[in-house]
Structure 1
Amino acid sequence: MASVQAQPVANAAPEAQVQSAVERVISSIQADPATRSGDIAKTIAVVQKQFLPYTDFEYTTRLAVGKAWRDATVEQRQQLFEQFQLLLVRSYALSLSQLREQNVKFRYKPAPVAATAADVVVETHVLNNGDEIQIDYRMRRTPSGWKIYDINMLGAWLIEVYRQQFADILAKDGINGLLAYLNRHNARQAARP
Structure 2
Amino acid sequence: MNKFLMTVAAVALSGIGSVATVSSAWAQASANPNDMVKTAVETVVKGVKADPAAKTGDVTATARVVARDFLPYADFLRTTRFAVGPKAFDAATPAQQQQVFEQFQQLLVNTFALQLSQVRGNDLTFKFDPAKLTANSSDVVVGATVSGTGDNLSVAYRLTKTDKGWKIYDINMMGENVANAWLIQLYQPQFKARIAQGGIDSLIAYLREKNERFGK
TM-score (norm 2): 0.80
Give 1:123's aligned residue: 143
Q: Identify the range of structure 1 (54-63 vs 121-130) with the bigger mean alpha-carbon deviation.
A: 121-130
Q: CA deviation at 1:80?
A: 0.6
Identity %: 46
Q: Does the residue aligned with 2:98 lie in a helix, a strand or coil? A: helix
Give 2:134's aligned residue: 114
Distance 1:124 1:86, change over 3 A: same
Q: Does the residue aligned with 2:120 lie in a helix, a strand or coil? A: coil
TM-score (norm 1): 0.89
Give 1:9's aligned residue: 27
Count residues with an aligned counterpart. 191
Give 2:61's aligned residue: 42
Distance 1:38 1:64, change over 3 A: same
Q: Identify the range of structure 1 (105-114 vs 140-149) with the bigger mean alpha-carbon deviation.
A: 105-114
What is the alpha-carbon distance in structure 2 between the residues aligned to residue 186 and residue 22 of structure 1?
23
Give 1:163's aligned residue: 188
Runs of 4 or more off by more than 3 Å in structure 1? 125-134
Aligned-pair Cα RMSD in Å: 2.2
Distance 1:131 1:48, change over 3 A: closer
Letter matched to residue 58 of structure 1? L
- Match for 2:109 among 70, 75, 89? 89
- Whether 1:32 and 2:51 are equivalent positions in the alignment is yes
Give 2:157's aligned residue: 137
Distance 1:42 1:133, change over 3 A: closer
What is the alpha-carbon distance in structure 2 between the residues aligned to residue 145 and residue 181 of structure 1?
33
- Whether 1:52 and 2:66 are equivalent positions in the alignment is no
CA contact (8 A) 1:109 1:122 kept: yes
CA contact (8 A) 1:9 1:17 kept: no
What is the alpha-carbon distance in structure 1 between the residues aligned to residue 151 and residue 48 of structure 2?
21
What is the alpha-carbon distance in structure 1 between the residues aligned to residue 206 and residue 52 of structure 2?
34
Bigger relative contact order, structure 1 or 2, given CA contacts below 8 A and separation 6+? 1
